[in-house]
């Protein structure tokens, strides 16, 4: 009897594993198919994923899917990857969690890697054509970023106060970060030197997080008003110290940064205590959490360790990549700002390489922007050590993008019932988008400056190229608003007009 029991137990385990493998295969195929056709990224993919996994394959219920989407929207990281990991976890446990996330991010990451690598081996003529095409893609990106920022303000019509606060946050973040970009364009046009604040995106975001956490996300009553005034004073002093660091030195900003960290931690703890978030929650058992978290950590380690063996200096790229994903509130397009702060402002990659290659290719390819950007930056960083190191660093970037997104989603999923009760967390969720919108306007200005760089590389007149850029921006906007053209059609319009116009300018020159 014991033998029969053992055989039946083994048979059941084999059947269960076979069923799980089949589910994982079906899950990977579904997610890879979405990742391959998923232009737009972020929330634009939510209805596509729902149609595939709820109404199509019936992998999870509508209620389960809605919860995955809610948690993904309040969590940093790549939203499509997070939703895919949540769906996979429901379908096939830990293996499904990882398979679903990888399936979602892999197609776009591979396409981005292929096209970015072409910049290194293409002929001079092909590179010139790429630069000409990038003029159109840059203006398409600028239109998307401007639409994001404008839409963020228009979407707050119901609450006048909320709209006023959002507008102020957007304008402040733009004015604090755009100085260097505008000054560069003005210099190329011969307009002389323009003095504007030059603060990094990370400094602006850090000041925002401090202000919200210190004030506990509330500004009501006398104490609330005092905390808000103190937060604005400290944040303003910090941003001023960063803007004028050349004359003030580094010490004031270091002191203010330490004070902000301490005050923000105090405010978050107080907000959590007042909301009762520290009390026990009935949101579900936490027994699976350590195993699931360990699985993500093992996945990340497997992607990172090979490149660390080849080149230990890759640790800085891995650390910056992980931090950028952890801070990437605001969606895929918003991640461009975090990428700039981590990789461009630090000197890891140049402006031209980041925006001219990585961002251009990432926005032209389907899938998660975070995964594509990290793969592209990883390839460029590792390229200095050889082609093998470039590929390994790209793999590390992909693993970090997928793994950190999955890990943060996992913790947020278990803690969701507690997090939503914290006023400070809710305030970050409500007001992070205007801040990101202002930073994205700065990146839109950067897109224009990249077209100026393209004009110089192609030996074309800067005013003429800027005129072409303005025409493409207007045309893309008209096609998007009047004809509701899809992103794919907008890409074709922008690139087609850019190639025709820029080649015409080259013939005239």
Q: Give 337-364 as a DSSP string.
A: HHHIIIIITTTSS-HHHIIIIIIHHHHH
Exposure string for 399-414, b = 16+ CB within 10 A, e = fewer: bbbbbbbbbbbbbbbb
Measured between its terminal Cα atoms, the distance across the chain in Å is 91
Query: What is the predicted pLDDT for the residue at 419?
Result: 64
Query: What is the predicted pLDDT for the residue at 262?
Result: 93
Query: What is the predicted pLDDT for the residue at 364?
Result: 67
Query: What is the predicted pLDDT for the residue at 379?
Result: 93
268 vs 100: CA distance, rounded Å: 33
**Weakly modelled stretches of the chain, pLDDT under 50:** 1, 4-5, 7-16, 158, 283
- Sign of the C-alpha dihedral computed for residues 471, 476, 477 and 478 taken in this order: positive
Query: What is the predicted pLDDT for the residue at 331?
Result: 58
Whole-prediction pTM: 0.67
35 vs 79: CA distance, rounded Å: 12
Helix (H, G, I), strand (E, B) or coil at 193: coil
- Sign of the C-alpha dihedral computed for residues 464, 470, 474 and 475 taken in this order: positive
Sequence-ordered list of residues with C-beta below 8 angstroms from that of 294, at least 6 positions apart, any chain: none
341 vs 139: CA distance, rounded Å: 21
Query: What is the predicted pLDDT for the residue at 251?
Result: 80
Instruction: Say if CB 103 and CB 65 are below 8 A apart.
Output: no
191 vs 196: CA distance, rounded Å: 14
Please, what is the average pLDDT of the chain?
81
Query: What is the predicted pLDDT for the residue at 277?
Result: 62
219 vs 215: CA distance, rounded Å: 7
Instruction: Say if CB 310 and CB 394 are below 8 A apart.
Output: no
Query: What is the predicted pLDDT for the residue at 334?
Result: 67
Query: What is the predicted pLDDT for the residue at 77?
Result: 85
179 vs 160: CA distance, rounded Å: 29
Residue 442's H or E segment, with its range, is helix 423-457
Residue 282's H or E segment, with its range, is none
């Amino acid at each position: 009897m014991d033998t029969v029991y053992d055989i039946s137990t083994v048979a059941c385990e084999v059947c269960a594993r076979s069923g799980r493998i089949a589910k994982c295969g079906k899950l990977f195929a579904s997610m890879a198919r979405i990742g391959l056709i998923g232009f737009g990224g972020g929330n634009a993919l939510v209805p596509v994923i729902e149609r595939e996994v709820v109404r199509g394959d019936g992998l999870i219920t509508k209620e389960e899917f809605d919860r995955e989407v809610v948690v993904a929207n309040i969590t940093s990281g790549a939203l499509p990857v997070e939703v895919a990991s949540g769906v996979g976890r429901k379908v096939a446990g830990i293996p499904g969690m990882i398979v679903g996330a990888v399936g979602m991010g892999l197609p776009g990451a591979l396409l981005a890697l292929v096209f970015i690598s072409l910049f290194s081996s293409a002929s001079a003529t092909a590179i010139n054509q790429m630069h000409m095409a990038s003029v159109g893609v840059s203006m398409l990106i600028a239109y998307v970023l401007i639409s994001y920022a404008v839409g963020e303000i228009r979407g707050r019509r119901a609450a006048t106060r909320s709209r006023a606060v959002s507008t102020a946050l957007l304008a402040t973040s733009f004015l604090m970060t755009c100085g260097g970009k505008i000054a560069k364009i003005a210099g190329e046009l011969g307009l002389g030197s323009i003095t504007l604040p030059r603060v990094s995106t990370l400094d602006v975001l850090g000041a925002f997080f401090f202000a919200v956490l210190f004030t506990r996300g509330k500004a009501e009553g006398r104490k609330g008003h005092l905390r808000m005034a103190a937060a604005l004073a400290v944040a303003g002093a910090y941003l001023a110290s960063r803007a004028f660091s050349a004359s003030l030195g580094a010490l004031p900003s270091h002191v203010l940064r330490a004070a902000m960290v301490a005050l923000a931690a105090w405010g978050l703890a107080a907000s959590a205590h007042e909301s009762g978030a520290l009390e026990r929650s009935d949101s579900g058992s936490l027994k699976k959490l350590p195993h699931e978290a360990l699985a993500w950590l093992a996945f990340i380690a497997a992607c990172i360790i090979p490149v660390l063996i080849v080149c230990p200096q890759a640790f800085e790229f891995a650390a910056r990549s992980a931090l950028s994903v952890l801070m990437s509130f605001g969606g895929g397009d918003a991640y461009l700002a975090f990428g700039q702060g981590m990789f461009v402002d630090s000197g890891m990659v140049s402006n031209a390489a980041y925006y001219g290659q990585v961002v251009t290719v990432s926005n032209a390819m389907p899938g998660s922007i975070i995964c594509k950007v990290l793969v592209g930056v990883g390839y460029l960083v590792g390229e200095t050590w050889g082609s093998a190191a470039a590929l390994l660093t790209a793999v590390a970037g992909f693993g970090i993008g997928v793994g950190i997104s999955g890990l943060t989603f996992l913790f947020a999923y278990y803690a969701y019932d507690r997090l939503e009760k914290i006023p400070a967390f809710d305030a970050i969720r409500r007001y992070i988008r205007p801040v990101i919108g202002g930073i994205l306007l700065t990146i839109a200005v950067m897109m224009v400056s990249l077209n100026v760089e393209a004009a110089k590389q192609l030996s074309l007149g800067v005013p003429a190229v800027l005129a072409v850029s303005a025409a493409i921006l207007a045309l893309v906007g008209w096609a998007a608003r009047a004809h509701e053209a899809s992103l794919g059609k907008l890409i074709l319009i922008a690139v087609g007009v850019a190639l025709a116009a820029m080649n015409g300018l080259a013939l005239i020159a």
